[in-house]
A and B are shown apart, each in its own frame.
Chain A
Amino acid sequence: MTQTENNLVAGCPTGLAPPETTSAPDPSAFVRRVNGQNRLSLTIRGAKCGACISRIESAVKALPRVETARLNLSTGGLEVAWRGGLTAIPIVQAISSLGYGVAPQDQGNGMTDEQREERSLLIALGVAGFATANIMLLSVSVWAGDGEMGTSTRMMLHGLSGLIAFPAILFSGRVFFRSAWNVLKHGHANMDVPISLAVIIAFCVSVSETLRGGEHAYFDASVMLLFFLLIGRFLDARVRRKAHTSARDLAAMAHRSVTRLGENGEARSVRASEIQPGDLILLAPGEQAVVDMQVETGLSEVDESLVTGESVPRTATQGMNLLAGTVNLSQPLTGRAIAAASDSLLSDIARMLDAGEQRRSTYRKIADRAVSLYVPFVHTSALLAFIGWLLAGMSANEALLIGVSTLIITCPCALALAAPVTQVVASGRLFRAGTFLKSGDALERLAQCDYIIFDKTGTLTFGTPRLAGDVSPDMLGNAAQLARASRHPLSRALVEAAGPGPVASDVREFPGLGLEGVIDGVTCRLGSAEWVGADIDVASSSSLWFVEGNGTPVRLQFNDHILDNATQTIRALQQAGYGMEILSGDREETVVDVAGQLGISDWTAKASPRDKVERLEALQAAGHRVLMIGDGLNDAGALALANASVTPGGAMDISRSASDAVYSGGLAALPRLIAVAKQARAVMLQNFAFAAAYNLVAVPVAISGHATPLVAAIAMSASSILVSLNALRLNTMPERL
């Protein structure tokens, strides 16, 4: 890894995202040529702050002939443009050497549908805001001049209001009119139907009132209604767009490129989707397999922790099958693809993800349920008011005005803001604490869970081995001199324990065996028992042996430590009444050990991805709402199926895409997340209760004919502000489970 002077830390310097260590794929297959310029769109993972922007952009711009490099921090997209013969490899290497994850994007980071929708909602919101403010300016004059203003002046002010309102309603109201029309065509009704009706009828009645020289016009109310509703719509679209961005990251994983070897051994970078079964593939050290493959030549160590949850690396030799997601650690390997990318393990899991997500989409949000109760209520009361007054002998014109004011004042401003504002405030609070929420309804689902399933590796434990037991500093220093030359996880753990220091001369790595090097003229070896000539029958994969010259081999034991705050977190959750169990793909003895230390009585070891999914289904069938916490590729299916799922920041992209929230800073984030989710759900319910109470007061006022435009304006804005203020309370609530 190259480090320059201003890049002392790997990854985001704020620590909001862990540094990425997998080496960058060759993106050459994704370079587009536009007007003699080479353009490449990349997805950057781990960039969270201003320092990340300047580090990434200046590192890329420092490369010769690069003309522009611009990082979008909100979406993680980086656009690079350059001229001339520079290949794309140095660009991705420059970024990955800083400790960020890079993946090429297929289409370019052009505007997605979600982004386009968000922007058009923002523009509609701006137009409605402009119209509301200016019509209010005129309306306030009318209200203030009540009794004194001449009819002609009032007509002029109403007329001006109408002139502003007409184009604004046409432009900003499109969103609601279109959606209402679409559902009406199919004979259904949604919230947009009463909204569209209220706005259109209010506008038409106001026009006729203005022409008649009447006292009340509802231009301000109809535009203000659109303004408040668009705020809710915009916030909602933003939350959804963020969720979509993470789904796109998952797609970027399938956009990986693969080094294919031709008949004569020449290497070419091709897209993963072009790989056919039987193709010869080169897997460089540090590279992640994208398709399932069978090793033909080479001998290396591979890390399968993301695929199986097994924390100790395995030796890959000829004839062994490597599943997609495996990381090659030490030596180059060549192998034959045994499946196309679309048939690899990764795609199996992607299909499980789809299935899980479809089932989850049947979840009915509180907001949806509230709306289905609300729509018939509004229509009936407005219609009854109109008919009632007509029967009581009022003129059709006046009765219509009362019906319209009922429709307007009951319109769901508070209802439309209740959920989105709460979600935005809650996710903002969680974001500041290092937890990212991915979907808006995640909070509701999280709050309802009563059973927690943990994966072990990387979730309850560090996921990387650590040196255990006492070792003399001298020997540790010597062993580390050898270990520094290797990227094997046990060597890395040894180096971490020893700290910085020199590297022995002439270190050579023998895959599957160990390292050999010369320290102070003595040949030393570090590796398996067999490699150092130790006489032992129990081959333990989580220990290393070190020998100096002809001395006695010494054993260095490693184990995977439980995360610092895991015990307290588990106890807190158990006290809060959550049932829990461990579902791991790792070996039985390690799972038993971890479960015992944490006091979790239910555990399953050696669980395949399919087993995990089946266990979840069984729990759900038994009536539990399950929260799944896991990080591996093998957890992805279960994460997608669970009622809610959470993943640590160091997890694989596919798992991050499958879950509702990503946390950093250890397991302590979990009780906080659950606490905030519960509070958010409570606040949301309060808001809906408030919206209902508001209507109970507003409807009689409107039906009795007292809802003048002034009353409507005050009632609508006051209810919206109250709902927003109530949501803001979330920022100061104490975190209690």
Chain B
Amino acid sequence: MAGLLFLIPIALGMGLIGLLAFLWAARSGQFDDPEGAANRILVDEDRPLPPSESRDSGE
């Protein structure tokens, strides 16, 4: 029975951390644009490498 005394607070504490993380995410607007968030993963921010002369040094 003594195990309950620390196991229950641990379980509740972990749940609470999850809840706080969710509240923070909702308040900071992370659920305001679900479609955009899904699509932004696909946005490629890298530019093409510069022309080959600048990369020839390795040869």
The reply on B41 being an interface residue by CB < 8 A is yes
Supposing A119-B26, A123-B23, A137-B11 touch, asked if A74 and B36 sit within 8 A by C-beta, the answer is: yes
Q: Which residues of B contact A126 (CB under 8 A)?
A: 19, 22-23, 26
The reply on A475 being an interface residue by CB < 8 A is no
Q: Is B26 touching A73 in the complex (CB atoms < 8 A)? A: no
What are 18 A-B pairs at a CB distance below 8 A? A50-B40, A50-B43, A54-B43, A54-B44, A71-B36, A73-B35, A74-B35, A119-B26, A122-B26, A123-B27, A126-B22, A126-B26, A127-B23, A130-B15, A137-B11, A138-B8, A153-B4, A160-B8
* Selected contact of A49 from candidates B12, B16, B26, B39, CB within 8 Å: B39
Supposing A54-B44, A72-B33 touch, asked if A134 and B39 sit within 8 A by C-beta, the answer is: no
The residues in B between 22 and 52 inclusive whose CB is less than 8 angstroms from any CB of A are 22-23, 26-27, 31-36, 39-45
In the assembly, what is the distance between CA of A130 and CA of B33, in Å? 23
Tally of B interface residues using CB under 8 Å: 26
Q: Is A50 touching B15 in the complex (CB atoms < 8 A)? A: no
Binding site for A on B (CB under 8 A): 1, 4, 8, 11-12, 15-16, 18-19, 22-23, 26-27, 31-36, 39-45
The reply on A53 being an interface residue by CB < 8 A is yes
In the assembly, what is the distance between CA of A133 and CA of B15, in Å? 9
Binding site for B on A (CB under 8 A): 49-51, 53-54, 71-75, 115, 119, 122-123, 126-127, 130, 133-134, 137-138, 153, 156, 160, 164
In the assembly, what is the distance between CA of A122 and CA of B18, in Å? 15
Q: Which residues of B contact A123 (CB under 8 A)?
A: 23, 26-27
Q: Which residues of B contact A134 (CB under 8 A)?
A: 11-12, 15
Closest to A163 in B: B12
Q: Is A53 touching B43 in the complex (CB atoms < 8 A)? A: yes
Q: Is A73 touching B23 in the complex (CB atoms < 8 A)? A: no
Q: Is A130 touching B40 in the complex (CB atoms < 8 A)? A: no
Q: Is A73 touching B32 in the complex (CB atoms < 8 A)? A: no
Q: Which residues of A contact B4 (CB under 8 A)?
A: 153, 156
Q: Which residues of A contact B42 (CB under 8 A)?
A: 50-51
Q: Is B43 touching A72 in the complex (CB atoms < 8 A)? A: no
Q: Is A73 touching B36 in the complex (CB atoms < 8 A)? A: yes
Closest to B43 in A: A54
Q: Is B39 touching A53 in the complex (CB atoms < 8 A)? A: yes
Q: Which residues of B contact A49 (CB under 8 A)?
A: 39
In the assembly, what is the distance between CA of A74 and CA of B34, in Å? 7
Q: Is B15 touching A73 in the complex (CB atoms < 8 A)? A: no
In the assembly, what is the distance between CA of A138 and CA of B7, in Å? 12
In the assembly, what is the distance between CA of A73 and CA of B36, in Å? 5
In the assembly, what is the distance between CA of A134 and CA of B18, in Å? 12
* Selected contact of B31 from candidates A50, A119, A133, A153, CB within 8 Å: A119
Q: Which residues of B contact A164 (CB under 8 A)?
A: 12
In the assembly, what is the distance between CA of A164 and CA of B41, in Å? 37
Q: Which residues of B contact A160 (CB under 8 A)?
A: 8
User: Chain A nearest CB: distance from B14 CB in Å?
Assistant: 10
User: Chain A nearest CB: distance from B30 CB in Å?
Assistant: 10
Which of the listed residues B11, B12, B44 has the most CB atoms from chain A within 10 Å of its own CB? B12
Which of the listed residues B4, B32, B40 has the most CB atoms from chain A within 10 Å of its own CB? B32
Q: Which residues of B contact A73 (CB under 8 A)?
A: 33, 35-36, 39
Q: Is B40 touching A153 in the complex (CB atoms < 8 A)? A: no
User: Chain A nearest CB: distance from B22 CB in Å?
Assistant: 5
In the assembly, what is the distance between CA of A71 and CA of B36, in Å? 8
Closest to A238 in B: B34
Supposing A54-B44, A127-B19, A153-B1 touch, asked if A74 and B32 sit within 8 A by C-beta, the answer is: yes
User: 4 nearest interchain CB pairs?
Assistant: A50-B39, A73-B36, A50-B42, A130-B19
Which of the listed residues A50, A51, A160 has the most CB atoms from chain B within 10 Å of its own CB? A50
Which of the listed residues A74, A115, A127, A160 has the most CB atoms from chain B within 10 Å of its own CB? A74
Q: Which residues of B contact A122 (CB under 8 A)?
A: 26, 31
User: Chain B nearest CB: distance from A424 CB in Å?
Assistant: 13
User: Chain B nearest CB: distance from A632 CB in Å?
Assistant: 29
Q: Which residues of B contact A119 (CB under 8 A)?
A: 26-27, 31-32
User: Chain B nearest CB: distance from A51 CB in Å?
Assistant: 8
User: Chain B nearest CB: distance from A71 CB in Å?
Assistant: 7
Closest to B5 in A: A156
User: Chain A nearest CB: distance from B54 CB in Å?
Assistant: 20
Q: Which residues of A contact B36 (CB under 8 A)?
A: 53, 71-74
Q: Which residues of A contact B15 (CB under 8 A)?
A: 130, 133-134
User: Chain B nearest CB: distance from A129 CB in Å?
Assistant: 8
User: Chain A nearest CB: distance from B49 CB in Å?
Assistant: 16
